[in-house]
Chain A
C-alpha cells in the first residue's frame, strides 16, 4: 500500500536551532501534502497544506515565517522550524494524498517528535 516516510523520527536540539523535517511519498506522487502538529495528550491540528510548486497554505494562527514549508517535488515536502524554542516542542506528522481524484485517502507518516531544550 501507499507509504509516507517521515524523517527524522526524533530530534532533540538546543533553543535557537532550525530543524528540518522531511516527508516523502515513497510509491506515489503527491501534489498535496499536509502538516499537523500534536501537543501532548491533545489532538492533531492541521498547520498547513503544502502544494507542489506553489506556496503553502497556512491555517489561522500558524506563523508562516516560523514554519517554513517547501514542496519542491511531487514526492517531497519539508517543514523547517526556524529558530526553535521550547514551546515548539511537539509531535509533527505529515500526510500525503495521491494525485488524481480528490477523494483519495490521505496517508500519514510516522511523525517526528521534536524536543527543544
Chain B
C-alpha cells in the first residue's frame, strides 16, 4: 500500500492565485516525520519543511503554509499568491521511527505550473 499519496498529479494556476497541494499519509507508527520538498527542473531537492508527529501546530513561512491534521492523516501545503518561480514538482514524504527514520517514503509528486 502506498504510504504517501499525492492525488494531484499536475496543477496549473495563474500567477497570484493561491494553491493547495494535498498529501495523505498512512502509518502505524506513533512517531514519525513528514516533509515537503520542492524539485525544480534542474532536479535537486529543496527542503521546505519537516514536521514531527507530535506537533500539529500549523506553520506559516512567508507565502507558504502547512496544515497538519492527524485526524485525517493529511499534511497539506498551501502557496499563497503563487509566482512563476514556484513552478516545480513538489514531493511529500514520510519517515518512521520503526525503521529508525532511515527510509523516506515519497509521494508520487505534484507538478505545479504557475502561468504568468
Contact = CB atoms under 8 A, between A and B. Distances in A.
Interface of A: 32, 34, 36, 42-46, 49, 91, 93, 95, 102-103, 105-111, 113
18 contacts: A32-B102, A42-B108, A42-B109, A43-B108, A43-B109, A44-B91, A46-B104, A93-B43, A102-B97, A103-B52, A103-B97, A105-B33, A106-B95, A107-B47, A108-B44, A108-B47, A111-B43, A113-B43
Contact of B43 (A34, A46, A110): A110
Nearest to A49: B102
B104 A106 contact: yes
State which size class the interface on B falls in. Answer: 20 to 34
B50 A105 contact: yes
B112 to A, nearest CB: 14
Q: DSSP class of B's interface residues: helix, strand, loop or mixed?
A: loop
Contacts of B103: 46
Q: DSSP class of A's interface residues: helix, strand, loop or mixed?
A: strand
B107 A43 contact: yes
B45 interface: yes
A36 B106 CA distance: 11
B33 A44 contact: no
Contacts of B50: 105
B61 interface: no
B33 A111 contact: no
A109 B43 CA distance: 10
B71 interface: no
Nearest to B95: A106
Nearest to A45: B106
Q: List 3 A-B pairs, minimum CB-CB distance, nearest first.
A: A110-B44, A108-B45, A43-B106
